[in-house]
A and B are shown apart, each in its own frame.
Chain A
Amino acid sequence: MDRNQAHRNRKRGLKALHFLALFLTMSIICIPGLWIVLNSFRPTVEIMAKPAVWIPSFTLDHYRAMFGGAGEGGVPVLSYFRNSLIVSVVSTAIAILIGMSGGYAFARYRFRGKSSYFVGLMLFRAVPGVALSLPLFIVFAKVGIIDTHFGLILVYVALNVPFTIWLTDGFFRQIPKELHEAAEIDGCTRWQAFWKVEFPVARSGVASAAIFAFLTSWNEFALASQLTRSVGSKTMPVGLLDFTAEFTINWGGMCALAVLMILPALILTFIVQKHLIAGLTFGGVKG
């Protein structure tokens, strides 16, 4: 009787502990993000208030200033948003095409030195952005594509291709060879067989690779901060710095821009969540 009771108590205690630990973890993950969102709606006076004000009031001032353009001391957010969007979408699309053909080559053909080619490609991805930005800055300045969309797109394509190859390679390997062989016997060319048979099967892998490429380009800072100078090509991560002056930071405005920056990534990730996890594990473990 007593032992039963003790056992039950222990079980209940463990359950409570589990719940508590999970709750704490989730709070630590959520609170920083929520704090940013909350502060984007608070007036600057309240953010700076001492002692702290815990009951927030609501204002859209920061968003109004942000979209109001440079005239009101704001930051040309819409231009930054447009630049980010153009650069990320175009570079993702190109990187996926190039990466997919590379991944297909690794998955379907046998050739000498395959694994060293593969690791070699990965190593190019591992080069730190800061280390690359120094020489790239000089080379781009010489060629004259500094401060342009084209230059940044080129860089992000090169940055995303290796990882895309890795993920798509894993996915194409999952597809049995017989599939495209059957299609070719039925009269498809290899090209048709790829687009009509193999591509649809590997679609979720391609989707996850696309998400990773997009997030990388959307969030990249170290290279963009050196390769862009003007409103015409600055992306949003670089634009965030506009809110810092020599000694002060416009926290409210920065939070508003931060919210604008997270939203597209958030929406996109929600849509393809399932592919994201599948992509990482399939591409990695079995690849």
Chain B
Amino acid sequence: MFRRRLPEWLVLLLPAFIVIAAVVLIPLIFSLYSSFTPYKLTRPSTLWRWIGTANYERILTDAKFWAAFGRTVLFLTIVLNLELILGLCIALMMNKVTWGQRTLRTILMFPMMFSPILVGFQFKFIFNDNIGLVNNALQSMGFDVALPWLVDGKLAMFSIIFAEVWMSTSVFAILILAGLFAMPRDPLEAAKVDGCTPWQTFRHITLPFLMPFIYIAMTIRSLDVARAYDIVQIMTGGGPARRTELLWTLMSRTGYVDARMGLANAMGYVSILLSIAFTVYFFRKLSAARAELGMGG
């Protein structure tokens, strides 16, 4: 009797809703509540004291928080743009290769299998100022230097960006390459006959066709931008002197090291809103690009 009242689509979707509600929604509601309390792990009774928006007021007036927030947005902007440009270049180069393309494509997928934490360790090793590959190579080539890759603020940021780009560029490259394969030949030939320069062909024919693929890659990436946490946590832990502190490392330090859960959860909500903003933005771009090409469904 009960089953008949539920429409079939709801029955099919119900398991997904239940699991997500249990694992994501309930903890999120709990953390929303606790972000309005001075909850400390060490003193459970603090969970029942309502302090209103004090935590939010506190982080919004905290210079350290804003520094981390700004750095996170800057980091994401740089990284996503670099990945897109490099991925596009790699895909265009691969498309021109006439032999061994399958092998190259397999190699290209290599970084996708790496755990972010592994990427962090790997580059911590490679950029190690004493025994790292980079410094060893520099010294063997006769430069008498030991660059403090992970100790100097600017170099550390560079190293982290390098690691992040290394890990995620292949997502872009592979998706854009798939787009290039799917591309119809006729418009390209027509453009050639009409006397377009290679740049004009690329700008007005290839690129618009690739746009949906680029937005898919962007959407997939924006779903887990916070993976960068693993890398930063391992490589520098937010140091030196907070020069590479991102929103996520600041949050985990506040939550786990200082045990100030209420405050950390308030920061968590800011980071969740940030992720959601990125995802929604690219999702909308994706549907717009799809509609333009008549691929909407």
Q: Which residues of A contact B (CB under 8 A)?
A: 18, 21-22, 25-26, 28-33, 35-36, 39, 47-52, 54, 97-99, 101-102, 104-106, 108-109, 111, 117, 119, 121-136, 138-139, 154-155, 157-159, 161-163, 165, 173, 215, 218-222, 226, 237, 240, 249, 251, 254-255, 258, 261-262, 265-266, 269-270, 273, 276-277, 280-281, 284-287
List B contacts of A159 (CB < 8 A): 23
- Decide: A258 and B121 in contact? CB cutoff 8 A: yes
Map CB proximity to A onto B76-117 as digits: 1 under 8 Å, 0 otherwise: 000000000000011001101100000010111111111111
Taking A21-B93, A52-B139, A126-B222 as contacts, is the C-beta distance between A132 and B16 under 8 angstroms?
A: no
Taking A29-B110, A134-B31, A284-B216 as contacts, is the C-beta distance between A102 and B13 under 8 angstroms?
A: yes
- Decide: A135 and B28 in contact? CB cutoff 8 A: yes
Contact of A22 among B93, B111, B225 (CB under 8 A): B93
The complex places the Cα of A26 from the Cα of B123 at a distance, in Å, of 17
Chain B, residue nearest A111 (CB)? B9
- Decide: B13 and A173 in contact? CB cutoff 8 A: no
- Decide: B15 and A130 in contact? CB cutoff 8 A: no
Some 21 contacts from A to B, beta carbons below 8 A apart, are: A26-B107, A29-B107, A29-B108, A51-B139, A105-B13, A106-B13, A111-B10, A123-B280, A124-B24, A126-B276, A126-B278, A128-B275, A131-B226, A215-B112, A219-B116, A258-B122, A273-B106, A277-B178, A280-B174, A281-B179, A281-B213
The complex places the Cα of A32 from the Cα of B170 at a distance, in Å, of 15
Is B118 part of the contact surface with A, judged by Cβ < 8 Å? yes
The complex places the Cα of A49 from the Cα of B235 at a distance, in Å, of 22
Is B295 part of the contact surface with A, judged by Cβ < 8 Å? yes
- Decide: A28 and B166 in contact? CB cutoff 8 A: yes
Is B291 part of the contact surface with A, judged by Cβ < 8 Å? no
The number of chain B residues with a CB under 8 A from chain A is 95
- Decide: B114 and A262 in contact? CB cutoff 8 A: yes
- Decide: B130 and A128 in contact? CB cutoff 8 A: no
Q: Which residues of B contact A (CB under 8 A)?
A: 7-10, 12-13, 15-16, 19-20, 22-28, 30-31, 34, 41, 89-90, 93-94, 96-97, 104, 106-118, 121-126, 130-131, 133, 136, 139-140, 166, 170, 174-175, 178-179, 182, 212-213, 216, 219-220, 222-227, 229-230, 248, 251-252, 255-256, 261, 264-265, 268-269, 271-272, 275-276, 278-280, 283, 286, 290, 295, 297
Question: Per DSSP, are chain A's interface residues mostly helix, strand or loop, or mixed?
Answer: helix
The complex places the Cα of A32 from the Cα of B126 at a distance, in Å, of 7
Say how far A260's CB is from chain B's closest CB, in angstroms: 11
Give the A-B pair count, Cβ closer than 8 A.
Answer: 259
- Decide: A130 and B226 in contact? CB cutoff 8 A: yes
List A contacts of B216 (CB < 8 A): 280-281, 284-285
- Decide: B125 and A251 in contact? CB cutoff 8 A: yes
Chain A, residue nearest B277 (CB)? A126
Say how far B189's CB is from chain A's closest CB, in angstroms: 20
Taking A18-B96, A33-B114, A269-B109 as contacts, is the C-beta distance between A122 and B27 under 8 angstroms?
A: no
- Decide: A165 and B297 in contact? CB cutoff 8 A: no
Taking A52-B140, A215-B112 as contacts, is the C-beta distance between A132 and B27 under 8 angstroms?
A: yes
